[in-house]
Amino acid sequence: MTLLVAACTSPVQSAYSDQVAERLAREIRKLRKSFNAAAGGYAVDLAQSLSLVSAQNAWADKGHLLNLVASIKSDDWESAMQLDDRGRIFYFRVFLEADGAALGYLCRYVLDRGSLPANDDSWNSVARDMFTEAYKQYAQLVTRIDERVELRRQLKRLDETGYSGKSGAHKMFVHAQTLYRIGLLAREDTGNGRIYKVPAQNGVDRIKAFVEEVGDAVSLERVIAGKRFMEVAAAALDIHEASHTEDEWSDMNVIDLILPFYERVMSTGVPLCSLGTLVEAVQIDWLQGRGVVIPYDRILEALTSAQRRDPRSIRFHVDRRGRPAYLKLDLTRKAAG
């Protein structure tokens, strides 16, 4: 995903999906890894489903956030795929929002069964059970009739046919591999294929902390609605530093904190900068650098207060619902001030 955003798509220009897929295949082959355009097509679909890029394959707000906090720092495939703390936090955040029900199920499965898959399960059976549980939970939450009908249709299909051949493995690997890359699961490669287990370093405690936060669809949706991604990430990824406290935040000028991120986003040629991108960039910076979780609302409140004090230099643009969603700074006025 990092390569796809940084090297294969644009912040402001659209592109056909097959073009992006071919570019990604070339970039990955530069890392001496076999990869074709068909596989690149799956990656483009994933980037769109994670809201990293738009349907036209230009950067979405999360694509800009990715560009701010993650990078490829090696010309070797395996080394390039090792995430630093910023990358782990970022990918935890985006997959939690897009695929949190699957991640939560697999973590509970590993805690209960000891490995993924367990000896008496196949990837097909795990995939069937995971999707069945997720669909049943969300069937109790959704209010739109068309969504309920679709969930019932999917449940019926799973009950009647399930998964066969390699379809279950293809469904599961993106979730299990994500958990491995961000450090919530360990991976072992055996003669019978890959197996995922609890990591040796505080693995049980970290997975339990994660499951307690997103143990079911209701809990997960509360985390998402409350934008509590960093709080959950801090516990699940075991990121903390006792020498720093949240009180440090009170002494900071919020504009000084967001300005480096704002300038980098605006340098890409976009007309406005997403507030969410800026807030979460600051959150990731503080969590990774200081081990401190600054709640999303606290940063947004600080920005709102700064805007009230200096409305001519700090302007908000609203979304379709009339809520502040984008920021425009008059850097000339700020410099003069």
Span 88-107, pLDDT tens digits: 999 999 999 999 999 999 99
Shared domain for 73 and 37, answered yes or no, is yes
pLDDT digits (tens, 9 = 90+) for 243-261: 455 566 665 788 999 999 9
CA nearest neighbour of 104 among 265, 218, 257: 218
Percent of the chain with pLDDT over 70: 94
pLDDT digits (tens, 9 = 90+) for 279-306: 999 999 999 988 889 999 999 999 999 9
pLDDT score for 333 = 52
pLDDT digits (tens, 9 = 90+) for 173-187: 999 999 999 999 999
Q: Report the SS3 class of residue 58.
A: strand
- Give the residue from 175, 205, 239 where a domain finishes: 239
User: What average pLDDT does range 153-170 have in this prediction?
Assistant: 93
Shared domain for 102 and 57, answered yes or no, is no
Distance between CA atoms of 85 and 245, rounded to whole angstroms? 19
Shared domain for 115 and 190, answered yes or no, is yes
Shared domain for 90 and 56, answered yes or no, is no
Distance between CA atoms of 6 and 24, rounded to whole angstroms? 10
Shared domain for 2 and 133, answered yes or no, is no
CA nearest neighbour of 3 among 246, 101, 30, 16: 30
Contacts 24+ apart (CB under 8 A), 173-182: 174/46, 175/99, 175/102, 175/103, 175/106, 176/106, 176/116, 178/91, 178/95, 178/99, 178/103, 179/103, 179/106, 179/107, 181/81, 181/83, 181/88, 181/91, 182/83, 182/88, 182/91, 182/92, 182/95, 182/237
pLDDT score for 336 = 41
User: What average pLDDT does range 57-82 have in this prediction?
Assistant: 90
User: What average pLDDT does range 13-20 have in this prediction?
Assistant: 97
Shared domain for 91 and 225, answered yes or no, is yes
User: What average pLDDT does range 35-56 have in this prediction?
Assistant: 96
User: What average pLDDT does range 132-136 have in this prediction?
Assistant: 95
Please report which confidence band the pLDDT of residue 51 belongs to, taking 50, 70 and 90 as the band edges. Answer: very high
Shared domain for 191 and 329, answered yes or no, is no
Shared domain for 112 and 203, answered yes or no, is yes
User: What average pLDDT does range 159-174 have in this prediction?
Assistant: 92
pLDDT score for 290 = 85
What is the pTM assigned to this prediction? Answer: 0.92
User: What average pLDDT does range 258-272 have in this prediction?
Assistant: 95
Distance between CA atoms of 172 and 45, rounded to whole angstroms? 16
pLDDT digits (tens, 9 = 90+) for 222-243: 999 999 999 999 999 988 654 4
- How far is Cα of residue 155 from the mean position of the Cα atoms in its chain? 26
- In the block, residue with structure tokens 């394959």: 57
CATH number of the domain where residue 331 is located:
1.10.10
pLDDT score for 322 = 86
Please report which confidence band the pLDDT of residue 335 belongs to, taking 50, 70 and 90 as the band edges. Answer: very low
- Check if the beta carbon of residue 69 is closer than 8 Å to that of residue 90: yes
Shared domain for 25 and 88, answered yes or no, is no
- Check if the beta carbon of residue 277 is closer than 8 Å to that of residue 285: no
Structure tokens at 119: 């000896």
Q: Is the pLDDT of residue 310 over 70?
A: yes
pLDDT score for 167 = 92
Distance between CA atoms of 39 and 321, rounded to whole angstroms? 38
- Check if the beta carbon of residue 78 is closer than 8 Å to that of residue 273: no
pLDDT score for 251 = 55
Strands 273-274, 193-197: pairing is: unpaired
> What residues have CB less than 8 Å from 5, skipping those under 6 apart?
47, 52, 53, 59, 63, 66, 67
Shared domain for 249 and 268, answered yes or no, is yes
Task: Give how many domains the chain has, as a whole number.
Answer: 3
- Which is more confidently placed, 191 or 111? 111
Can you list the alpha helix ranges (DSSP code H) found in 70-197? 77-80, 85-113, 123-139, 145-160, 167-182
- Check if the beta carbon of residue 110 is closer than 8 Å to that of residue 122: no
Shared domain for 234 and 264, answered yes or no, is no
Distance between CA atoms of 213 and 220, rounded to whole angstroms? 7
Q: Is the pLDDT of residue 199 over 70?
A: yes
- Give the residue from 82, 116, 139 where a domain finishes: 82
Distance between CA atoms of 133 and 56, rounded to whole angstroms? 33
The parent domain of residue 76 ranges over 1-82
- Give the residue from 61, 82, 103 where a domain finishes: 82
What is the distance between the terminal CA atoms of the chain, rounded to a whole angstrom?
40
Range with the poorest average pLDDT among 52-61, 78-87, 205-214, 226-235: 78-87
Shared domain for 52 and 131, answered yes or no, is no
